[in-house]
Structures are given as structure tokens and as C-alpha cells.
Chain A
């Protein structure tokens, strides 16, 4: 038999030890995955058909100049050493210079990131506010019409191409109904009025008290954010539904009902808190995937964010900018992914061990 008489002190020490181990393993997987990501972007930059030497010296340079530049760039060294140099540059924040904007890629990224951040955040907020109650409702009304409606909505969310929904949304709500503004973040004429503090227009406009600009920015934001929110909603509602169905089948829910708790009381007060931990993970994952999904949406809505930056760079063979953007999206994506995984392990009592 296991000795159950463990004093508080030992328990506390054990749990501190475990927490430390968990944090270390979280950081280790973060570092490893980041190394993997940079190794891949490095290989991509070597795979590309654009000759980095030719891009510098031009095609009229003599062979001697070409060879010298080749050596200066370190292209004659073994791949692993080149990768080391590449990593060192990345870590010092040097992503190279964008051919398109002639600015350092890092400062470009800092400039465009807030637009994507604003879009994805508003979309996630809408998605969670609708998706969680919808999922709970579907689970509570399992098998009835409410459940079927939610399930069909989720299924469509998994099947509709986001760029297409964006176009159709633009056609219906902007072209036909005129309820929202068209592409871009602001109407022409509103640009550069508010001072850029956070880069998030809604917040900047609110700080300056420019409510007309706030309204304008909102009417530009709501359609792309709403469309992205639908995809987040589909995922969040589907997962909430399946977590809640699990919980509502448990005996403690019946016990609460027998003790006189109302049906919705049992659902929200007893069952719902138990799904919150896995739900946080799901929301985090959907947030990460929205940052990615924003790439296509931004192209449709001419939203001046990260996605549009990457795709524009792509068509101008601006590999520094493409890879810089990929690393940024990748790092945020990996970070959120692993952090959710970590949170799950920390908060789920079953994974805490004895």
C-alpha cells in the first residue's frame, strides 16, 4: 500500500518541484520548436531560386566580384555554420532588409503587426462570446433542433473557404446593403489623423477622443472580423459542445438536480466550470489559427496587416520579408500553442499526479 500519511511540507515541495519541471519542459519545447522553425525558414531561403549574390552585384559583375561577394556572404561555408550565422542574426533582431520597402524587415513587421492583432483579437472575442453559449446550448439540448442548428453551423464553418466568404460578405453587406464600409482600415481622408500609439486604431481613436474615426474604423473592421469570428465560433462551439456533453452525463449533475438545482443552474454553475480549462486551450488554439487565417482575409479586404505584407512581398520576390513574416507568425503560433498545452497541464488536476 502507498503510505497516505504525507505531511503538507512534502506535498508542497513535490508540487514546487513538479511545477519547476513543467516550466523547464515548456521552455525546452519552445526553444526546440523555434529552432525547428528557423531551420526550415533557413532551408527555404537556400532553396529559393533567387541568387542572393546576383541580387547584390547585378548580372554584369565579373566572376571575380561574384566569387568575392559569394565568400563575403558566407555561402562557401558548410550549411550548419551558415545556419548558425543566420540564427545569430535573427536573435539579434536582424531579419534583413526588405527589397520592397527598403526598410529593415523587423521595423516593417512591428509596423504592420497591430492591424493583424486588432483583427484577430476582435474576431476571437466575437467568436468566444457567441461560440461558448452556442456550444453549451447545443449540449444542453443534445439531439434537439437547437443542437442540429449549432452542428450544421459548425460544419459549414469547417467547410467554407474563408477568402470566398470574405468576397461574398463584401458583395452582400458592402455592395448590396451598404451596411459596412469596404476594404482597408479607414476611409480615404481619415488617414493619419489620430496619433499612432498602439497601432490599434480603435484604441488610438478612443484615446484621442476622435469618435468619428472610431466609428469609421469600426465599420471597416466589423466585416472581416465577423467573418474570421465565424471560423473561430465554429471550432469553439464544436469543442464546447463535446466537452459539455461529457460533463452533463456525469453523476454529479444528476445529484445537483436531485438537490433542487434548476436545469440551467446545474449546467452553468456545476458543469460549466469543469470545461473551462480545456476550453481555454481551445480558445488559445483558435486564436493562433486566426492569426494565420488572417493572411487570406487580409488579402480580400486589403487590410494592411501581416498577411498582406507577406503576400505582397511574395509577389515581389522579397524573400527577407516573406521569411521574416513567416518567422513572426510561426513564433506567435508556436508560443500560443505550447503555452496552451502548458496551461492545460498546470490547471488540469488529473494531470498533476498524486
Chain B
């Protein structure tokens, strides 16, 4: 009897869970369905006026064709996507390095005024992004860094500081004996760091890389102010805004092109997220603690 009641409860619980998950999945997906439908339409609209618009009668590839084939004085959408990928990957790599080095230092090394420094750095990032945009432009203009290097430098601290703290926790969980053994075997401290710590703290590496990549990949404001004069160096976001007519309010924005571009840009991003799913779901496991 008890077992049967247990079974019924279990089935109810699972059913309830599946229903909620399916509803939430629908909630998560339906705006994206819209994006897809808009990208396959030939009229630039965001509001479908009748329910029958939900299922399109025709699928037009005009938006995609326009994006892929148009050439703008040396720049084109595929070129810009390539630029974006390069920029975002570099930002991801540098963010990872920075976050892990700092996390390692916070965890293992004895640095003077470590606590104050760490708290101070954390609090300084509370300053809003919109207020830093103009001073950054002026600063980088002075140093002639209004290019990719400047952009990468501008993007990294955002993710790195936050990721450094997560990395510190993760490295705390790795016993220092591992590195000590390696150092006895002849590796330098930095070598031990690279080989052992990076590998064991992989979830945090994945999370930082993804956050850094996404931030740089999708950013418009800073990239626009830095890179505007060189069409060939534009990122995909700038190029997309331009080709969809969103930069000039005097011309009609074409949201089907905008949606198509977002789909093209979003596919590698979504793939990245899904592939590193397993690692991301482990990145925060050191944050939980059983101590009360």
C-alpha cells in the first residue's frame, strides 16, 4: 500500500514537473519563433496583425540573401561576422587568463592588503556602463587605441572581475598539494598553474569564456564609437544595425533583415551555449556550501 502511494505521488510529481517545464519551454521559445518568422518574411514588421500570420504562407529568403551578398565599400556581413568572432574569441581568451590568474592569486598567494584590494575592485565595478562609455572613448582616443586592441581591453574587466571571484572559490577547492607535487617535480609555479589548476577549474574557464565572448560579440555602443570610421573593421552588430537601417532614423528600419542578421549571429552563440552546457552547470558548484 505504502509503495503504491509512493508511486502515485512520484508520478504526480513527475507529471507536474514535466508540465511546468513544457510551459516554460514554450514561454522561452515563442519569441524566438517570432524572430525566425520575421527573418523569413519580406515585409519589415514586428507586429503580426492576425493570428494566421503566425504560420507564414511564404518563406522568403530575401533578407538572408541581402545580408550575405551586399557589399558596402569593402565591408560585407560575412566579413563583419568574421571580425566579431575574432574580437569575441580574443576577449574570451584574455578574460579567462585574467580571471584565472587573479583567482589563483586570491586563493593561493599571500598578497599585501589582499582583502581590501579585492573588495575595492569588486565595488568599483558597480559604476554603470553608460557612464563609462564617453570617458573610455576619450581615454582611448588619447592613446590612439581606437581599434580592436582598445576594444578588447575595454571589454575584459567586466567579466574578469566577476569571474575572478568565482575562480577563487573553485581553486580553493583544489588541494594545493597537487601543485606542490608538481613543483617538486620541477614545474615552475606558473607551469603548475597552467597545467593543473586550469584543467581542474574547467567549468569556471568555460563560464568566463562564454560570458566574455557574449559580451564582446553582442556589444554595440562601444564598438560603434570606436570603430565607426573603418568599414572593413566593423563588427557584425554595427554592420547589422547599418544594413537594417536602424542607424539612420530617416530611413525605414527593415526588421526582417535585422532578424535575419540576429539569427545568423545567434546560431554560433547558441551552439556555444549548448555545447558547454555541462560545464556551465558545474561552474557554481563551489559557491554552495554545506557549512551553516
> Are both chains from one complex?
no
